[in-house]
Structure 1
Amino acid sequence: MPLSELNIDLFRLINDLGKQYSFLNPFAVFVAEYTLYFLGLGIAVYWFTRINQNRMMVIHAGISFILAEILGKVLGTLHSHYQPFAVLSNVNKLVEHEVDNSFPSDHTILFFSICVSFWLVRKKGGWLWLLLAFCVGISRIWVGVHYPIDIATGALLGIFSAVFVNWLAPKLSFVKGLLTFYERLEHKILPQKSKSRNF
């Protein structure tokens, strides 16, 4: 299926920014490639705080990602196209990437499914996670590995999955039961220290 001119024009508009403002390219590469580690760190911090709400949030985020990724794979079988750098000329390609189906963007699916899940629970500071997901999506176009349609579709799948799981998961008692079972085992292996008070 041929790519629309609008999709290509939007790609050029964003990707060419790297030629006009080359001093921003290292930042774009960092966001596109390495913020994944910050996301992993955030998940670990939320989990190991041993706060039940945080752990349920992480579980919801994980289920959301799995659902969004499955939907993404299904869409990928219905439509496919190679990365911009493999098809278009004069692309500002800043990272190494194998040539395969770039629709939809797995990076965007990952970040939006998890970051929106965080925002749905932690709205006060959750907008920072939303901002991160948005920046990752734009950066993947900036570095030349995705078209805007790849990013938009990945974002929509992530948002849909996060909202759906946030609505459905509380109705599934086995999710809370599994977490309770895990926490009992964890407490036996790594018991929390009780805070003592000195009078």
Structure 2
Amino acid sequence: MAGLAASGSNPDVELLYDINGLAKDAPRWFDRVMEYVGEYGLLIGLVLLVVWCWWSVRRRGEDDAASSVAGLVWAPLAAALAVLVNVPIRGFVERPRPFNDHQGLQVLVAGKSDYSFVSDHATIAMALGVGLFVANRKFGLIGIGLALLEGFCRVYMGVHYPTDVIGGFALGTAVALLLSPPATALLTPVMSAIERSSRGGWLIRARGRSGAGEQDALIPGARKESAEAGAEERDLAA
């Protein structure tokens, strides 16, 4: 399957040169920024986005907080599982990195000696983005946007073909989306048990949120009792 990266004119290689050519024309400082963003920054940003969504869910104290948190827990688990699935895929396809078969590329990250198809970075990013989208649409759209940017950066850096990135997107989406129902079905009871525990309940719901709701529910009754007591006092005074 190494012939997948065979040299010669094809849309995949042409798009590789077009996108990577932007790195040649860009100033050195911009390439350094893209190198960091594409290698580490966007993945860190996606993880922080998941944490932000978790914080938002637990602060709201919704009735289905356990199932929402279960969906968020699935996002990083899906990314890890997708990377494991990619291990045999890479070994079967055995596609060399583009800079090994094509001259004149601006390679921003040196030392990449493993196979190219499919991109681990694109797989992880899209699995996180799609997993987050299943749990929360608003945060998920942002996550998918960051994943798309991650794929662009991998080609820009000269370490992946566009089809490596597309393959990673497909793999990450398939794992996160198709396995989401059974995964959340298994994780939700676990999150519910944690919510009921005295030590881990804060991981699912912020302390005081349910208590505040109960107090709000009791306020009308308290007002009614106060009004009745005031009426009785007026009757006695009369």
The TM-score with structure 1 as length reference comes to: 0.83
For 1:40, the aligned partner's letter is V
For 1:44, the aligned partner's letter is V
Name the SS of the counterpart of 2:179 in structure 1: helix
**TM-fit CA distance, 1:87:** 3.5
Q: Could you list the runs of 5+ residues in structure 2 that have no partner in the other structure?
A: 59-64, 216-238
Distance 1:61 1:26 in 2: 29
Q: Would you say the 8 A contact 1:97–1:145 is kept in 2?
A: no
In the other structure, the counterpart of 2:179 is 165
Verify: 1:29 aligned to 2:45, yes or no.
no
Instruction: Give the number of the structure whose alpha-carbon radius of gyration is greater.
Output: 2
Distance 2:84 2:167 in 1: 13
Q: Would you say the 8 A contact 2:66–2:188 is kept in 1?
A: no
Verify: 1:153 aligned to 2:159, yes or no.
no
In the other structure, the counterpart of 1:10 is 15
Distance 1:176 1:110 in 2: 23
Verify: 1:104 aligned to 2:118, yes or no.
yes
* C-alpha spacing 1:179/1:32, structure 2 compared with 1 (3 Å): same
Name the SS of the counterpart of 2:200 in structure 1: helix
1:88 to 102, 107, 117: 102
For 2:163, the aligned partner's letter is I
* C-alpha spacing 1:186/1:84, structure 2 compared with 1 (3 Å): same
Among all aligned residue pairs of Structure 1 and Structure 2, give the percentage whose two residues are the same amino acid.
23
**TM-fit CA distance, 1:186:** 0.9
Distance 1:116 1:190 in 2: 21
In the other structure, the counterpart of 2:61 is none
Distance 2:114 2:129 in 1: 26
**TM-fit CA distance, 1:79:** 0.7
1:1-199 counterparts in 2 under 5 A? 1-2=2-3, 3-4=5-6, 5=8, 6=10, 7-22=12-27, 24-33=30-39, 34-49=41-56, 50=58, 51-170=65-184, 172=185, 174-183=186-195, 184=197, 185-187=199-201, 192-194=206-208
What is the aligned-residue RMSD (CA, Å)? 2.8
For 2:48, the aligned partner's letter is L
Distance 1:48 1:13 in 2: 41
For 1:31, the aligned partner's letter is V
For 1:13, the aligned partner's letter is D
**TM-fit CA distance, 1:108:** 0.6
In the other structure, the counterpart of 2:228 is none
For 1:178, the aligned partner's letter is V
In the other structure, the counterpart of 2:220 is none
